[in-house]
Structure formats: structure tokens, C-alpha cells
């Protein structure tokens, strides 16, 4: 029995790591891919997870498989492609730790996952199914991702979704919006950045935008991440905001995934269904997750930077102003 299964991209993040003797930027190889990062956070907190996706049958792919296994993530749903290489992403960091990406993925192995390669047994064995939108930027992975999400919903699984916008991966922003909205049909728990929420709804006001999502798609638990400003949430008809922990960020890569993984951990570890939670319980879960996200920014990379439970608990003792 799995606690959580995710489908999506698994790739290499090359993160800046100093300057060479010749004055060139040095890049460090790190495992990446938002769905895998979420699973790694859940696994680090002690839950049983499995990943479904495709990587190249190359040294990068084998490194990623080993990383998942070392992270105690089940890899029986991992597929190797003999013809297409593992996707690479180069991370460009700003002084405040914010980042942008350059992708080498035309195509990448992650985009070649087919419906037939989806391990439905893993989905059926899990309590929660998680997916994002990067694997929906092209075929055949788009159809495979939506098929997996639909199957999970039909099986009565809890479904979480991160419409993670990477503009350069889409042929147009019109297509991106159309496809990303399709994922909301299957969603029970939504994590979306403030910018992504405005992109999807055309509305800057968080209350109006999240209200439209909740009413249109029947999603009663929405988390809107705001970076250093914290998290806005909608829980049934209640809305609120939980401030972030202030840190000197080194690299924000994976911070949102650490946040979402921690939220899902609190939901899966709870003794009662979230529909019965109080606002205080929701805000406590968000504060826990804000701490995890903040700690992740203190190191470079995503999976290597994820904090352990003891560090999160220690961070919670700090006063947030």
C-alpha cells in the first residue's frame, strides 16, 4: 500500500556552482522534476511513495533512478527510453535566489511516456495521486498524465495538482492555459503560485480568482504560494493568509515542491479527513509547510536541499513577524 504516487517529469537540474579558473560558470548536476521533488519530501517525512515516468537509458537516467531509490521512492513505475535522452534543465539564479530555466527537451525522455506505460496498479494501491502540468506540455506524455489523473479520480483517490507554468515549454500561452485548466477537473487539492493563479483565471484578486476555481471545479482546498510573502489559502468558504519564514535564500528551486509535499504529508498523516479540519488546523499545516519551503532555499538544488522533520520542527519554534 502506497501513501502517494506521482506521475510526471524526472530530469537533471544543472545549478550554478561557482566560477572556473577561466571565469566560466560551473554547473552542478542535481536531480529535479516537481512531481519527484514532492515525493522525495513525502518520503523524507516517512511516507511510502512511488514514481511513474520516463527517463533516458543514459548515465543521467541511471543517476536519477539511483537518486529515487536512495530517497526510498519506489521505482517500479519508472520506464527507460532507449531512443530519447533524459531531459536537462539549466537553472539561472538571481542574487535573491529566484531562478529561471533553460530546457534541453525537444523532445526529452520524460515527454515520451505513453498511456500504455502508466502503471495503473501503483495508482490503485495509493491513497493519493499527484501530478503537475510540465508533463502535459506535449504528446504523448500529455495524454498519459491526464489518463492517470482520470483513473485515480475514478478509483476514488485523493488527487493533488500543481499547474507549474514553464512558458518556454509550451507552443503558446493560449494552449498552456487550456491544457492546464483541464487538470483541474480531477483535482481535490490545488497548489498554485500567485502568478499562475492570475494566468489561469485572468484575475489578480486572490479571493475572486480562488473563488472562481473553487466554484467552477469543486476544489475546496487551494493553496496560493506567494514566495517570501507566505501562503494564501481557500478552505471551503474560508480564506486566509499565513506568513512565510524569512531566510537568506540561496536557491528557491524546489521550495514550492517542499511546501506542497509537506502539506500533503500533514493531510495524509492526519487522523481526520481535511473536510473536518478547523481553520486553525489548516493554518498549522501551512506554517509547517512554509518552514519546509524556507529551509529548502538555504541549499542549492531541489531533492538534496529538502529538510528533515527535526529541522522543520526546529524552524517552527521561530516567531514569524
* pTM for the full predicted model: 0.94
pLDDT at 128 over 90: yes
How many structural domains does the chain have? Answer: 1
DSSP designation for 288: H
pLDDT at 197 over 90: yes
The DSSP-derived string for 207-266 is HHHHHHHHHHH---EEEEE-GGG-EEEEETTEEEEEPPPP---S--TTHHHHHHHHHHHH
* Residue 22 included in any domain: no
**Where residue 125 sits, what CATH number does that domain have?**
3.40.1190.20
Q: Provide the β-strand partners of residue 15.
A: 28
* Residue 62 included in any domain: yes
Backbone angles phi, psi at 148, to 5 degrees: -65, -40
- What is the pLDDT, as a whole number, of residue 97? 56
**What integer is the mean pLDDT of 278-302?**
93
For residue 320, name the pLDDT band (cuts at 50, 70, 90): low
Output the CA angle 7-10-13, nearest 5 degrees. 150
- What is the pLDDT, as a whole number, of residue 127? 97
- What is the pLDDT, as a whole number, of residue 98? 65
* Residue 12 included in any domain: no
* Residue 28 included in any domain: no
Query: b/e string for 234-262 if b means 16 or more Cβ within 10 A?
Result: bbeeebeebebbebebbbbbbbbbbbbbb
What is the rounded end-to-end Cα distance, in angstroms, of the chain?
41
Mean pLDDT of the chain: 94
Output the CA angle 200-206-210, nearest 5 degrees. 60
Which residue reads 529538510 in cell numbers?
Answer: 307
- What is the pLDDT, as a whole number, of residue 321? 56
* Residue 45 included in any domain: yes
**What integer is the mean pLDDT of 223-250?**
93
- What is the pLDDT, as a whole number, of residue 100? 74
Q: CA 84 to CA 142: how far, in whole Å?
A: 17
Note the pLDDT tens digit of each residue in 73-126.
999 999 999 999 999 988 777 766 566 778 899 899 999 999 999 999 999 999
* Residue 100 included in any domain: no
* Residue 113 included in any domain: yes
The domain in which residue 192 lies consists of 2-6+34-86+107-318
Contacts of 72 (CB under 8 A, 6+ apart): 43, 49
Helix 141-154 vs helix 173-183: angle between axes, to the nearest 10 degrees?
20
* Residue 99 included in any domain: no
Contact 120, 77 (CB under 8 A): no
- Distance of CA 225 to CAs 124, 127, 192, 239, 298, Å? 30, 24, 6, 13, 18
**What integer is the mean pLDDT of 222-238?**
94
**What integer is the mean pLDDT of 257-285?**
95
Query: b/e string for 127-153 if b means 16 or more Cβ within 10 A?
Result: ebbbbbbbbbbbebbbebbbbbbebbb
Total Cβ atoms within 10 A of residue 287: 18
- What is the pLDDT, as a whole number, of residue 15? 81
Name the residue among 121, 172, 124, 114 with its Cα closest to residue 146. Answer: 114
**What integer is the mean pLDDT of 175-184?**
98
Amino acid at each position: 500500500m502506497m501513501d502517494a504516487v506521482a506521475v510526471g517529469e524526472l530530469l537533471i537540474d544543472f545549478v550554478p556552482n561557482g566560477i572556473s579558473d577561466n571565469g566560466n560558470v560551473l554547473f552542478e548536476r542535481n536531480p529535479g522534476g516537481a512531481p519527484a521533488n514532492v515525493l522525495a519530501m513525502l518520503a523524507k517525512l516517512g511516507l511510502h511513495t512511488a514514481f511513474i515516468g520516463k527517463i533516458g537509458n543514459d548515465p543521467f537516467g541511471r543517476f536519477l533512478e539511483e537518486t529515487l531509490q536512495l530517497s526510498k521512492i519506489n521505482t517500479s513505475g519508472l520506464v527507460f527510453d532507449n531512443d530519447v535522452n533524459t531531459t536537462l534543465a539549466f537553472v539561472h539564479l538571481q542574487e535573491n535566489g529566484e531562478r529561471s530555466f533553460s530546457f534541453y527537451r525537444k523532445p526529452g525522455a520524460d515527454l515520451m511516456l505513453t498511456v500504455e506505460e502508466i502503471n495503473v496498479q501503483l495508482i490503485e494501491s495509493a491513497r493519493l495521486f499527484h501530478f503537475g502540468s510540465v508533463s502535459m506540455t506535449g504528446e504523448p506524455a500529455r495524454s498519459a498524465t491526464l489518463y492517470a489523473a482520470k483513473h485515480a479520480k475514478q478509483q476514488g483517490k485523493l488527487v493533488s495538482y500543481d499547474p507549474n507554468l514553464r512558458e518556454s515549454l509550451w507552443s503558446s500561452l493560449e494552449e498552456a492555459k487550456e491544457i492546464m485548466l483541464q487538470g483541474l477537473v480531477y483535482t481535490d487539492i490545488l497548489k498554485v503560485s500567485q502568478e499562475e493563479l492570475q494566468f489561469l483565471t485572468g484575475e489578480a484578486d486572490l479571493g475572486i480568482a480562488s473563488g472562481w476555481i473553487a466554484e467552477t471545479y469543486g476544489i475546496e482546498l487551494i493553496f496560493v504560494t506567494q514566495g517570501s510573502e507566505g501562503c494564501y489559502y481557500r478552505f471551503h468558504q474560508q480564506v486566509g493568509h499565513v506568513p512565510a519564514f524569512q531566510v537568506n535564500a540561496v536557491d528557491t528551486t524546489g521550495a514550492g515542491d517542499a511546501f506542497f509535499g509537506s502539506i500533503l504529508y500533514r493531510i495524509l498523516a492526519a487522523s481526520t479527513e481535511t473536510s473536518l479540519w478547523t481553520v486553525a488546523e489548516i493554518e498549522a499545516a501551512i506554517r509547517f509547510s512554509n518552514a519546509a519551503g524556507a529551509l529548502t532555499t538555504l541549499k542549492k538544488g531541489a531533492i538534496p536541499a529538502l529538510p528533515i522533520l527535526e529541522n522543520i520542527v526546529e524552524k517552527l519554534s521561530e516567531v514569524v513577524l
